[in-house]
């Protein structure tokens, strides 16, 4: 089905370079991830790698109805801020060896900066089974 698919705009462009400089208010915007990677630490070498995973969660991983701001200055620098909305979703992915990883996918409070060619920002993705989360089987309680 298409229940988890973000709506697309029939008219307009996805080319950010065509946006004139200014401050834009984002209302009811949606983010639909196309892939998930999990950071895995190698305790022998001390290095970290991001491992491609297989999505196990169905129809619940898009973030929707979010509010935010998108600013473009005259020199092509951009800033994306998310303020509120359905900005988190529980997700489970499968690692290549069969291990399952559950986490809370979120972009809550992201403040991404960059240029019209690409921008990025830091945000925390909390564990789905952390000390403050109690799942139906009682795991994760402190």
Domains and their CATH numbers in the chain: 22-120 (2.40.160.30)
Q: DSSP state, 108?
A: T
Mean pLDDT for the chain overall: 83
Residue 142's pLDDT band, with cuts at 50, 70 and 90, is very low
Q: With 60 as the cut, is the pLDDT of residue 130 above it?
A: no
Beta-carbon count within 10 A of 63 CB? 21
108 versus 12: which is more confidently predicted?
A: 108
Reported as a single tens digit per residue, the pLDDT across 47-104 is 999 999 999 887 778 888 999 999 999 888 999 999 998 888 888 899 999 988 888 8
Indicate the SS3 state at residue 63. Answer: strand
CB atoms within 10 A of CB 111: 13
**CA 80/CA 12 separation, integer angstroms:** 19
């Amino acid at each position: 089905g298409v229940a988890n698919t973000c709506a697309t705009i029939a008219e307009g462009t996805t080319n950010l370079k065509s946006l004139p400089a200014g401050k834009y208010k984002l209302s009811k915007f949606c983010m639909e991830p196309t892939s998930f990677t999990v950071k895995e630490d190698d305790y022998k070498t001390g290095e970290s790698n991001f491992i491609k995973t297989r999505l196990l969660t169905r129809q619940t991983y898009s973030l929707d109805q979010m509010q935010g701001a998108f600013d473009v200055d005259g020199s092509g620098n951009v800033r994306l801020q998310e303020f509120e909305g359905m900005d988190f979703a529980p997700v489970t992915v499968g690692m290549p060896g069969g291990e399952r990883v559950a986490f809370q996918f979120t972009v809550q409070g992201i403040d991404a900066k960059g240029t019209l060619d690409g921008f990025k920002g830091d945000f925390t993705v909390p564990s789905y089974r952390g000390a403050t989360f109690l799942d139906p089987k009682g795991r994760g309680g402190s």
